[in-house]
Amino acid sequence: MSSDSPIGVFDSGVGGLSVLSALQAELPGERFVYFSDAAHAPYGERGDAFVIERTLGIARQLVEEHHIKALVVACNTATAAGIGLLRSAYPGLPIVGVEPALKPAAAATRTGHVGVLATRGTLASGKFKALHDSLKTDSVRFSLMPCDGLAGAIERLDEAAIQSLAARYVGDIGRFGHQLQEIDTLVLGCTHYPFIAADLQRLAGAQVRLIETGQPVAQQTRRLLAAKGQLAGNGSAGSLQLLTSGNASALDAAAARWLPSAEAAALR
C-alpha cells in the first residue's frame, strides 16, 4: 500500500464516528473510508458467529475495493469477537481495535470503584473477561452494566429512549461519589456512548470522570502507520468517504451532527 491509500474504519452503525472524529483530529491529512453496517446494527445484541461473519466480510470489502493501508475496528463487540481472526487473515495490514478503557479507569479511580457501561455482547466476550480479570484486585472493583437498547436508541437519534435508558442504567449501576467504594470513574464501553457523554455526566454527577477510547485508538493508528512509513505526506488534504449497508441519508445526518466538519459528511 502507498502512503496515499485510505484508512478503513467500520462499526455496526454510527457509533464509530466518535472514533473517526478522534482519528481525523490526530491524522488530519489522511483519507478515510468509513463503513456503517447499519442494516445489521447493533452488534452488541447479536451472537459471536454473526458478528465475526460481518466483520470479516466488511474487512474484505475495504481491502479489496478500497485498498486500505490500515483498518480500525471502531466497535467494541466486533473487536472482542473478531480481531484475532482479522489479524490472521491480513497479517501485513495494521489493524487497531477498541476495547473498554478499564486499564486507564483502574489507574484513575481514587475510590477503588469503577462503573462500566457497555453492550451485553462486549461484557459477555472472552476478550473482555480476560481484561476484567487481569485488572480486578482487592483495591479496584468494577460494576458492569449491560445497556440493552441504548446503542440502538442513539443510532435512531431517539431522544426520548436515550434519556430513559441512560437514566435507568446510570441509576442502576451504583452510587456515585468520592467516598470509598462509591463510583468515581465511569467507562463508556461502547463507541456510541460518547455522543451522549453530556447526558451521562449530568446523571452521574460533575465529580465523576468519564473515560472513552477514541484518542488512544487514534494515537495507536498513528504509531503503526509511522512504523511502516505510511503516514500521509505533509500538506496532504484529508478526505472522507461514507459507506453503509443501511440508510445513506441517516449516516450523512449523523456525520453532519457528530463530526467536527459537517462538510465531510457530504463526501460519498
Q: Nearest 5°: CA angle at 44, between 73 and 74?
A: 15
Average pLDDT, integer, range 137-160: 92
Q: What is the pTM for the complete model shown?
A: 0.86
- In sequence order, the β-bridge partners of residue 7 are 32, 70
How many domains does one find in the chain?
2
Say if residue 191 is in the same domain as residue 114: yes
d(CA 255, CA 18): 10
Choose one of 164, 194, 211: the last residue of a domain.
211
Indicate whether 268 pLDDT > 70. no
Domain boundary among 211, 230, 249: 211
Mean pLDDT score, 30-46:
90
Q: Is 167 in the same domain as 116?
A: yes
Q: Which residues have a catalytic role annotated?
A: 75, 190
Same domain? 197 vs 111: yes
Q: Report the alpha-carbon angle 165-54-260, nearest 5.
A: 55
Judge if 51 and 89 occupy the same domain.
yes
What is the rounded CA–CA span in Å between residue 190 and residue 219?
19
219 and 91 inside one domain = yes
- Residue ending a domain, among 189, 211, 233, is 211
Q: Would you say residue 1 lies in a domain?
A: no
Mean pLDDT of the chain: 92
DSSP state of 233: P
On whether both 139 and 169 belong to a single domain, the answer is yes
Instruction: Please say whether the beta carbons of 45 and 251 come within 8 A.
Output: no
What pLDDT band is residue 26 in, cutting at 50, 70 and 90?
A: very high
Where residue 261 falls among pLDDT bands split at 50, 70, 90? low
Q: Is residue 247 part of a domain?
A: yes
66-123 tens-digit pLDDT: 999 999 999 988 998 999 999 999 999 999 999 889 999 999 999 999 999 999 988 9
Whether residue 157 lies inside any domain: the answer is yes
Do 156 and 248 lie in a common domain? Answer: no
Say whether both 195 and 106 belong to one domain: yes
Note whether residue 2 is domain-resident.
no
173 and 90 belong to one structural domain: no
Q: Are residues 83 and 11 in the same domain?
A: yes
Q: For a pLDDT cut of 70, what percent of the chain falls above it? A: 96
Contacts of 223 (CB under 8 A, 6+ apart): none
Q: Check residues 199 and 127 and name the one with the higher pLDDT.
A: 199
What is the span of the domain harbouring residue 34?
7-98+214-266
CATH value at residue 139: 3.40.50.1860
pLDDT attached to residue 263: 45
